[in-house]
Amino acid sequence: MLDARNGQPAIAEFPLPTLATDKHPVNNRASFESQTFPPRGWKLQLLPGNVCRPDEVAALKGSRGLLCQDLQSSQGTLIRAGLCFALPIDRLPVLPMSWRLRADIQPVELWMSKGQVIHPLAFLRGNEVVAAACLRKTRDDEYIAGVLIRSVDGLVRERIDVTEGEIFRDAPATWELELLRIGTRQTTAVLRLNNNVVARINGDTNAIEPDAGCVGILHRHSGLPITLYVDQLFLTEALRET
């Protein structure tokens, strides 16, 4: 802080709040090798007729991965086929400074029209998107990854990178969505592919704290045949090491 009258700096220290002794930070890793499904902490979200199950055909590492299929479901519910993890929203005043959601993802079937978008990773508040990774079809057989964030006024902003964010259907990539709080109000959403930053965008999520992290097929369209292979889930509130 700076004294406006004589220009002398004054330093003040504000300790960060700490978790109560009966609370624990979120740090979850999950794969699909065991017979337990959904994995610990995760909840299955699936529209009737769609598919979200461990399957050998979806293996990206190990013997089984998560097969997610939207078999042309109608417009309406955001989550078509996926897994969600409930985030602690009752830990006031100790709100997480960071959320990171990561998964290995390979798009296999993407019957989308130009301009349509799906979200393989998302942080939600109820049935509304707070921040999400985007997979958008920009032209014939071209798919670009990006990130979006919702502000307190309800407006959604999206950013994609046609160079760094190009996605190919014949190879998996490690997707990571980070929601990083800066100060008390501003939040930055960041998408990384294979550990490289693809896009970042700022927003104000102070009044719309996410209550779930979701992986799978999320969108608002109707009649899209979509197939994703998903593996190696990771969700944490720990800050990313530089």
**Confidence band, pLDDT 50/70/90 cuts, at residue 14:** very low
Distance CA 227, CA 186 (A): 35
7-11, 27-31, 75-79: least confidently modelled range: 7-11
Domains of the chain: 44-236 (2.60.120.200)
Does residue 89 carry a pLDDT above 90? no
**DSSP labels for 67-81?**
EEEEESPPSS-SEEE
Residue 24: predicted pLDDT:
75
Kindly report, residue by residue over 128-169, the tens digit of the pLDDT: 999 999 999 999 889 999 999 987 677 888 999 888 999 988
Residue 153: predicted pLDDT:
74
**DSSP labels for 99-127?**
EEEEEEEEEEEE---TT-EEEEEEEEETT
Q: What is the pTM of this model?
A: 0.88
- Residues 101 and 212: beta-carbon distance below 8 Å: no
